[in-house]
Amino acid sequence: MSDYLETLETSNNPENLSENLLANLIQVKDVTKKYRLGNNEVEVLHGINLEVKAGEFVSIMGQSGSGKTTLMNIIGMLDRPTEGSILIKDIDITKKSQKELVDFRRRTVGFVFQQFHLIPSLTAYENVALPLVFSGDKDNSAVESALERVGLAHRMHHKPVELSGGEQQRVAIARAVVMKPKILLADEPTGALDATTGSMIISLLKSLAGDMTVIMVTHNSELAEYSDRIVYLKDGNVAE
Ligand SMILES: Nc1ncnc2c1ncn2[C@@H]1O[C@H](COP(=O)(O)OP(=O)(O)OP(=O)(O)O)[C@@H](O)[C@H]1O
Ligand SMILES: [Mg+2]
């Protein structure tokens, strides 16, 4: 934990910036994932190797069932690989205990999902404030700046039902970045939106990249073109 925070501090120092832009922030090494279904084991990732640089915007594409969500969940520390390792800033997160991972994940990764996953009874402001509440952070100043960053400061007292789909996704993005994570993971962030709104959301993600590494899963090759690089998954293997 502390070694990681130290490395992040160094990475925030502008003197190290150019060095950091060239450095790999995420290294996925020989990752396999097997699921047990009754007596059967099914391997859905077959030894994935992938490196993503700090500030890079990467799209992951591939057919349904090719393992995109599984890989995102492993990079995002929501799930563990069966074999292989994940290094974030040269720190092997697969060696961390579940308890260590909770705090580490909260400060390192933001998540955006297809269905927004906002809490309906809370306002936009309260939804964005949740990660701060969970981490015991008393300073709420980041909430307004996160909402400003997604262009929704004027809607902060509205509840999800009073917002359009695109606006709800922008609230979800503000919530994902409020802890200033180094990594933003978006699994089909435009899947529930029309084409115009979808491209606005991707432009927003693109504007956040640089400041943070953005990895997005999409089925839309036009939207994938916004990213720096497209990684193709085919039957649990990378076919770049
Ligand atoms: N918890 C689980 N238990 C068993 N099998 C699983 C589990 N989660 C996913 N799988 C299987 O792993 C494979 C990859 O699933 P995954 O959700 O990663 O695919 P995906 O590429 O995200 O697909 P989609 O484009 O439909 O979202 C699928 O065959 C799926 O059925
Ligand atoms: Mg998926």
Do residues 110 and 99 touch, judged by C-beta distance below 8 A?
no
44 lines ligand 1 (CB under 6 A): yes
Ligand 1 atom 9, closest CA: 70
Amino acid 92: pLDDT: 95
236 lines ligand 1 (CB under 6 A): no
Please report which ligand is nearest the Cα atom of 235.
Answer: 1
Tens digit of each residue's pLDDT (9 = 90 or more) over 93-140: 999 999 999 989 999 999 999 999 999 999 999 999 999 998 888 889
Rounded distance from Cα 137 to ligand 2 centre (Å): 32
Residue of 32, 60, 68 best suited for mutating to test ligand 1, as the one with most atoms within 8 Å of CB = 68
Rounded distance from Cα 224 to ligand 1 centre (Å): 21
Q: Is residue 156's pLDDT more than 60?
A: yes
Radius of gyration of the chain (CA): 18
37 lines ligand 1 (CB under 6 A): yes
Q: Which domains does the chain have, with CATH numbers?
A: 55-79+98-238 (3.40.50.300)
Ligand 1 atom 13, closest CA: 65
Confidence band, pLDDT 50/70/90 cuts, at residue 22: low
| Nearest in space to 78 (alpha carbons), one of 110, 52, 49 | 110
Percent share of the chain, pLDDT over 70: 90
23 lines ligand 1 (CB under 6 A): no
CA–CA separation, 177 and 127 (whole Å)? 12
Sheet with 237-238: strands ordered across: 109-113, 183-187, 213-217, 57-61, 229-234, 237-238
Confidence band, pLDDT 50/70/90 cuts, at residue 167: very high
Sequence-distant (≥ 6) Cβ neighbours of residue 51 within 8 angstroms:
24, 26, 27, 28
68 lines ligand 1 (CB under 6 A): yes
Tens digit of each residue's pLDDT (9 = 90 or more) over 38-50: 999 999 999 999 9
Rounded distance from Cα 72 to ligand 2 centre (Å): 9
